[in-house]
């Protein structure tokens, strides 16, 4: 988990380097796709760019681009937004 903290604080100029390296770790199964998606989404948010994985989104972005977002999520091994939302709702029911 230490590498995740490092990524959160790395300079933006290192973004492309880490993006390239981390996708290989995802493919090999050494890194959960969520960490990669969080790094990408943080970079996009800082630069006021459109979401790719739907982690940092507004409802308008989700409704308009959900097909593209879900496609991008599948490419790196994340569940669809609808599936993820269902898992979260079931979890919240259990802890209440």
pLDDT along the chain (96 residues), means of 10: 54 77 90 89 83 74 76 93 87 88
Per the structure block, which two tokens stand in for 93?
A: 């029911």
pTM of the model: 0.74
Going by C-alpha positions, the residue among 54, 59, 61, 56 that lies closest to residue 80 is 54
| DSSP code at position 96 | -
pLDDT tens-digit map of 40-49 = 888 888 888 8
């Amino acid at each position: 988990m230490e590498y995740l903290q490092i990524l959160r604080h790395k300079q933006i100029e290192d973004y492309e380097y880490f993006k390239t390296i981390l996708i290989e770790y995802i493919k090999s199964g050494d890194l959960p796709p969520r960490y990669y998606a969080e790094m990408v989404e943080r970079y996009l948010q800082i630069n006021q760019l459109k979401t790719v994985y739907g982690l940092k989104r507004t409802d308008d972005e989700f409704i308009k681009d959900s097909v593209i977002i879900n496609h991008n999520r599948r490419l790196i091994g994340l569940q669809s937004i609808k599936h993820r939302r269902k898992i979260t709702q079931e979890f919240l029911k259990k802890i209440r």
